[in-house]
């Protein structure tokens, strides 16, 4: 896989799109982002000291209905990387990685679809190492705060790419989803209610139990708060 190392860019996901026409897998790292992208159009704070990675992968025969596997694999790679430095990460459905209940990483995936297949996928990962998190109201955390001797950004970067290149399966993803079996607060449109998170289905939907009835929810429809 070709690798590109940048001092700064607006967004590694945006930058890597210039390679879409070349058909070759590539990884792009940046020391900082000036316009980092989060889910649902949100910005992603990306000061120097974090790992900002995008990976572009091409596929020949990857059904679109299996696209959630790409998200699951990326989350597992992040969790394995955190665990490699002595942390105990958990996945908050569906694309955030938490340590001690606070967000240490975010994942953004952009897929190119054609004929019911995923033809190319851009996986963007931001992992907090020693970067400043001012202004986030304590919802985020970095390795510097959690560890007595935080690792070098380069060491985290290299281990993250190594874990991303390693295989994983859906059971690995479920193994890091520590909130399963717990009560969660669900916001669905203007409606808010409590439910028990029972399972995550292979297509990424969350199976909840509310008043004795099971329902599968899409991440596009709801917000989850672990109680």
- Averaged pLDDT of the chain: 91
User: Is the predicted pLDDT of residue 107 greater than 80, yes or no?
Assistant: yes
* Structural domains of the chain ordered from first start: 2-176 (3.30.930.10), 183-226 (2.30.30.100)
Please answer whether residues 42 and 20 qualify as being in contact, where contact means their C-beta atoms are separated by less than 8 angstroms: no
pLDDT digits (tens, 9 = 90+) for 170-220: 999 999 998 899 998 888 888 889 999 999 999 999 999 999 999 999 875
CA 208 to CA 144: how far, in whole Å?
35
Please tell me whether residue 18 adopts helix, strand or coil conformation. Answer: helix
**Residue 189 pLDDT:** 81
Q: How far apart are CA 202 and CA 106, in angstroms?
A: 20
Please give the biggest Cα pair distance in the chain: 53
Q: Does the structure show a pLDDT above 60 at 38?
A: no
Q: Where are the alpha helices (DSSP H) in the chain?
A: 12-16, 68-84, 143-146, 153-165, 170-176
Cα–Cα–Cα angle for 76, 122, 202, rounded to 5 degrees = 45
């Amino acid at each position: 896989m070709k690798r590109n190392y940048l001092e700064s860019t607006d967004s590694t996901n945006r930058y890597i799109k210039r390679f879409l026409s070349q058909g070759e897998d590539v990884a792009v790292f940046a020391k900082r982002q000036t316009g980092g992208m989060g889910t649902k159009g949100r910005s992603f704070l990306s000061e120097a000291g974090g790992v900002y990675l995008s990976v572009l992968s091409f596929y020949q025969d990857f059904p679109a209905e299996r696209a959630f596997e790409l998200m699951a694999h990326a989350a597992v790679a992040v969790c394995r990387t955190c665990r490699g430095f002595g942390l105990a990460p958990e996945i908050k459905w569906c694309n955030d990685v938490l340590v001690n209940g606070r967000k240490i990483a975010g994942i953004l995936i952009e897929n190119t679809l054609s004929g019911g297949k995923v033809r190319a996928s851009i996986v963007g990962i931001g992992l907090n190492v020693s970067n400043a998190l001012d202004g986030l109201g304590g919802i985020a955390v970095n390795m510097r705060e959690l560890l007595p001797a935080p690792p070098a950004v380069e060491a985290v970067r290299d281990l993250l790419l190594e874990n991303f290149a390693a295989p994983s399966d859906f059971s690995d993803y479920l193994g890091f989803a520590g909130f399963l079996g717990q009560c969660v607060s669900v916001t669905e449109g203007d409606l808010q209610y409590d439910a028990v998170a029972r399972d995550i289905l292979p297509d990424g939907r969350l199976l909840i139990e509310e008043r004795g009835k099971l329902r599968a929810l899409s991440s596009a429809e709801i917000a989850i708060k672990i109680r």
